[in-house]
A and B are shown apart, each in its own frame.
Chain A
């Protein structure tokens, strides 16, 4: 099945926010904090600029509360007296000339009396650094299963390890961008985003307007990866405030340098494992500590921590597990949603740790996993019984077979014994990812979908789920067409416009296909019910019925509706973190072959295999692309993407110095889908988008460890670090 908007994108016809025709508008820009923490003493406007030409907005211009509404209300739209991170928005400026506004921003000085910032989330804060609660901890989560200490007492072997992962930038091709205009008394915002209703809610709150006086429209979006989950609310607020003050249309589009410096990134994490094992390699006890860097405001960090904690123990059976997580305030730009949402960090740790365990026990890493992988009927750390018919061991074996694991290992042993300058190795990792919102989140969201029967006999799917390159348009078209027996041309997908589409929740958390897609099917069923037709009515008969209905009800809307219903048997206790964390999990096994250059420390991934069970695959080409893209993002995170922070600012905020992989840096990526249908997903589908990232970095690092005999525990593992590890020699162990 072809991608619905594919040709428009390929031919350059798709219009992203910066391409939309716009007349008589102002360019908006943001004046930001020059320091990571401090009290604003003054704002100085250069004398040689005629400021009457400019529209300038500060916190006094905010009609409602100066708060970006999310989980908490601690983050201001524009800093008033105090700044908590570098590049925090303080003022907004607009002018018809983009160059003029760029100059104006440089002509405004925000004078701050600096205070001692927190720049290392791993160290406990000094008293003068405390800025949240009594200890800068935004959120703590504990998961407890069994009796960990008693299990350790009976363990033959205890293996410790510390693992760290760095910040990662989304590098969506299209930077953040938003247009705000006034239609009568309504503020209309059009822009690049994943969650139109998040933006709407934030606008209603800070602009003090009800939903009739604000409208949010998603423009075609050039990639999100989580970076357009919460951040677009800021850009939308800024553009709206300028538009309201200027009474004119305002466009804000970040250039890459501003986008890299000022927007969210993946949470850095430090994860400590202590694992008790039987002599035969069975897991007896897992004690895991997770610490995340949250940055300067709460934003989504508690939820990221939640997903990290729930996935912390890996897809393994273990009766005694303790997971303690916390997310810390620092004076960094707030970390935010990023594909995987906490799960890649903890799975990097647990999967590297499984290889550390295997080396300690002198076992094959595949064998250690085979012994411990969850079987149907086993429970996860939260006590969720896994019984979905997926054979996770077979999944791993498929990856092992496909990459030629055993033969390659023999080849590599020969190669490594004779080659002067390179070392090769194989690495395996397994992975899992819960589809949809955690715990009771989906129930709270109460997502709603409409499928309208149009007068001509076609149908229109109305959801707030956006297309950002991942295939929403294509998959929803297929789901509705299949459900109603219509040709794909007879299914339209509505533009996500909060004035027209219901709130089907955010486009995040691998939930679009499984959760919203299911609602699309049910809304199709409801449409038929409205027409008093049975399930067997399809195709032309249905089209005729829709047309007939409209002839009888001229001017009226024929709408099928569905509202989220929890699948039966799912129970979650949010207080104690017990129960069914997700309605379904996707499962993966990943294999990497690498070559390390001993001269330069350069690491090249030679081959990569990903075997995934995400239920039924609805659009195979797109799904394969999602997996390959996730693997590339994982390779970048593992080996080259390093945010270099200097005094709380990203120093390498250019794509020349923040290196992401090119096509020359990635191997052939072979993708295999094992399709075990999930009974509550549309046509049996589960979530897919995030899973491919989870297993990539550990598979690559495990391969490097195998190739070199070193034991790297931190990513990104740059050539600089690799060369140091190689010089220190084989057997370098992470400290337990």
Chain B
């Protein structure tokens, strides 16, 4: 195994370009190193240790947005009370990632590029319309997180690009919900994840562990926008079926996932929306 040690973002981008994107960026390491002893092929690869790229730690509030850096951890967010005020779902999600050890090392950008369909951080960012800022030696580009994934573990990031920031627009939200249903109450991988927001921009409904990627659910969003009367959880099922493709796997069943998503939508929104009875 070889490790590249850039001392700045610029150097990191140069190294990525030089290796033609073959180097694997390493931030918290909480995904890359989990199965290290048995992932023998990973031992042969080149890693780009980002810990020296201090600019990536930058984390700032402006009047319009919260900007997470490429190395911002869950813990950075958990310990900022302004996040709890303006983006409570980020705090909720960060609390449910692994345990404290993981929360202090794991990064939001890492959560995005790891591209797990069961990610905890991605659904809440997506529900807040987050924008991914990608950089390479060729320049910067911005992609809406909702459009970032193109398939299972496939995304609009070229191997020579790094996520240098995540921009989260500040808006007034009338509804903010995050639900993670796991096999247990901590140290769990989501069987069903759900993030819902409502702002002037409209409804955002994001599902995790329900499709090959974390994704928005346009049919459910439309149903909510239209305010058609909903009489029970079943009334969400048809829209859920259009939006996502849950599967039977080692952690749960397709049937359970769809039912639970419908139940959560119904019960969580019942007190909030008068068209849900």
Contacts and interface: CB of A to CB of B under 8 A. Distances in A.
Interface of A: 99, 102-103, 106, 255, 257, 420-421, 598-602, 604, 640, 644, 651-652, 656-657, 659-665, 719-720, 723, 727
Contacts of A106: 40
Contacts of A102: 37-38, 40
Contacts of A651: 250
A723 B267 contact: no
Interface secondary structure of A, over-half rule = loop
A641 to B, nearest CB: 10
A279 B6 CA distance: 81
A15 B43 CA distance: 28
A644 B260 contact: no
A483 B181 CA distance: 55
B201 interface: no
Given A103-B40, A420-B267, A665 B185 contact: yes
A662 B267 contact: no
B38 A723 contact: no
Contact of A644 (B43, B250, B267): B250
B186 A662 contact: yes
Contact of B250 (A652, A662, A665): A652
B181 A602 contact: yes
Given A599-B260, A651-B250, A640 B187 contact: no
B40 to A, nearest CB: 6
A662 B260 contact: no
B42 to A, nearest CB: 11
A664 B40 contact: no
Nearest to A719: B256
Contacts of B37: 102, 255
A657 B188 contact: no
Contacts of B252: 720
Contacts of A421: 267
B19 interface: no
B185 A720 contact: no
A663 B189 CA distance: 16
B264 A599 contact: yes
B184 A599 contact: no
A723 B185 contact: no
Nearest to B265: A599
Interface in B159-216: 181, 183-189, 192
A719 B263 CA distance: 13
Nearest to A100: B40
Given A640-B184, A660-B184, A664-B185, 6 more contacts: A99-B40, A598-B263, A604-B185, A664-B186, A665-B185, A720-B255
Nearest to A659: B183
Contact of B260 (A99, A600, A656, A659): A600
21 contacts: A102-B37, A103-B40, A255-B38, A257-B38, A421-B267, A598-B263, A599-B263, A600-B192, A602-B181, A604-B185, A640-B184, A652-B250, A657-B183, A659-B184, A661-B184, A662-B187, A664-B184, A665-B185, A719-B256, A723-B256, A723-B259
B110 to A, nearest CB: 17
A723 B183 contact: no
A448 B186 CA distance: 46
A657 B40 CA distance: 21
Contact of B189 (A599, A602, A656, A664): A656
Nearest to B43: A99
Task: Please list the 4 inter-chain residue pairs (A to B) with the smallest Cβ-Cβ separation, ordered nearest first.
Answer: A664-B185, A659-B183, A599-B263, A720-B256
Contact of B184 (A255, A420, A598, A665): A665
Contacts of A719: 181, 256
Contacts of B184: 640, 659-662, 664-665
A421 B271 CA distance: 13
B256 A657 contact: no
A466 B158 CA distance: 57
A599 to B, nearest CB: 4
A661 B185 CA distance: 8
A719 B255 CA distance: 12
A724 to B, nearest CB: 8
A715 to B, nearest CB: 15
Q: Which of A644, A657, A720, A727 has the most C-beta atoms of chain B within 10 angstroms of its own C-beta? A: A720
Contacts of A257: 38
B259 A657 contact: no
A517 B181 CA distance: 47
A659 B267 contact: no
A600 B40 contact: no
Contacts of A727: 259
Nearest to B259: A723
Nearest to B271: A420
Given A99-B43, A719-B256, A640 B38 contact: no
Contacts of B181: 600, 602, 719
Contacts of A644: 250
Contacts of A659: 183-184, 188
Contacts of B187: 662
A420 B260 CA distance: 15
A659 to B, nearest CB: 4
A99 B43 CA distance: 10
Contacts of B140: none
A523 B152 CA distance: 67
Contacts of A420: 267, 270
A99 B38 CA distance: 9
B85 to A, nearest CB: 26
Contacts of B40: 99, 102-103, 106
A513 B174 CA distance: 62
Contacts of A664: 184-186
B227 interface: no
B212 to A, nearest CB: 19
A294 B123 CA distance: 45
Nearest to B233: A599
A720 B250 contact: no
A601 B253 CA distance: 13
Contacts of A598: 263
B262 to A, nearest CB: 9
Given A640-B183, A723-B259, A723-B260, A657 B251 contact: yes
Interface in B223-260: 250-253, 255-256, 259-260
Contacts of B189: 656-657
Contacts of B264: 599-600
Interface in B42-74: 43
Contacts of A660: 184
B139 to A, nearest CB: 39
Contacts of B263: 598-600
A45 to B, nearest CB: 18
A661 B260 CA distance: 22
Nearest to A654: B35
Contacts of A661: 184
